Chain A
């Protein structure tokens, strides 16, 4: 388990079965709502997590359905000038082979072709997207902060 002190809201452990993705989406939206994210941000956060999970199933586990994935949801804060901004941190862990971090940039959208949109949707939704490999674990950290203008509950 990664170091996640304080602010832990929810932990989910699931198998890499695509049929379970809807269960995660079903948990994320109300969690983001409870933290005060606006409806568009709730949808984009849910989409980012769903796309990240899909990438794990497809690329990290090569569509094997019985591999472990763990998600940690944590409430975080950051100081900007005199104000404190709240946010949601999601850490997705899998035990697949090491992934080239360079592949986490997504593709350009100027070409009309299927595939490769997931990473773009993740980057579009989140304020931070960080990939690390620790031991035998791939760790994708996603962070979204509540913005004063965009999240009016």
Chain B
């Protein structure tokens, strides 16, 4: 898995690629929480286009990010969900819990 970060004003975009599993989901969790709690980004976008696989620990990391964003008055937004990411969020009944957009442009416009 790889995570790269783009920052612009108060918006942060994480581009995640590869497999998010039990071995590396703590990295996703820590990146999201740091951005929300320490850097205090008002919007944190997560690009899941290139995520080939995500397990329940990866989903749990996103949920933790979502909860932190609510606690700190910011927004956690997902966009470009790959088939794997969409399937898991759907099965976990979390798709409607997150703010989800098809593209980065759409996510930034809201």
Which residues in A have some Cβ–Cβ distance to B below 8 Å? 18-19, 21-22, 25, 40, 43-44, 46-47, 50-51, 54, 57-58, 109-110, 112-118, 120-121, 124
CA distance in complex: A9, B55 (Å): 25
Contact of B55 among A19, A54, A110, A112 (CB under 8 A): A54
Judging by beta carbons under 8 Å apart, are A43 and B84 in contact? yes
Please measure, in the bound complex, the distance between the C-alpha atom of A121 and the C-alpha atom of B21, giving whole angstroms: 14
- B23 surroundings in chain A (CB, below 8 A): 18-19, 21-22
CB of B8 within 8 A of chain A? no
Q: Which residues of the partner chain A approach B83 to less than 8 Å between Cβ atoms?
A: 43
Q: Which residues of B contact A112 (CB under 8 A)?
A: 63, 66-67, 94, 97
User: Across chains A and B, which 4 residue pairs bring their CB atoms closest together, nearest first?
Assistant: A114-B60, A18-B23, A117-B56, A118-B56
* Contact, CB under 8 Å: A50 / B21: yes
Residues in A with CB closer than 8 Å to B93 are 109-110
Chain B residue with minimal CB distance to A114? Answer: B60
Are A57 and B63 within 8 A (Cβ)? no
Determine which of A21, A43, A113, A124 lies in contact with B21 in the assembled complex, contact meaning CB atoms within 8 Å: A21
Whether B91 lies near A57 (C-beta < 8 A) is no
Given contacts A51-B55, A54-B56, A121-B88, contact A22 B19 (CB under 8 A): yes
Counting CB contacts under 8 A, is B103 at the interface?
no
B95-109 contacts to A, CB under 8 A, are: 97
Do the beta carbons of B87 and A40 come within 8 Å of each other?
Answer: yes
Which residues 67-84 of B sit at the A interface, judged by CB distance below 8 A? Answer: 67, 83-84
Instruction: Say whether A117 contacts B87, CB under 8 Å.
Output: no
Are A115 and B21 CB-contacts (below 8 A) given A109-B92, A121-B91? Answer: no
* Nearest CB of A to B54, in Å: 9
Q: Mark B34-57, 1 if CB is under 8 A from A, else 0.
A: 000000000000000000010111
Interface contact A25-B92, CB-CB below 8 Å: no
Say whether B12 faces chain A, with CB atoms less than 8 Å apart: no
User: What would be 17 A-B contacts, judged by CB atoms less than 8 Å apart?
Assistant: A21-B23, A22-B19, A22-B21, A22-B23, A25-B19, A47-B53, A54-B55, A58-B22, A110-B93, A112-B63, A113-B63, A114-B61, A114-B63, A115-B60, A117-B60, A118-B56, A121-B91
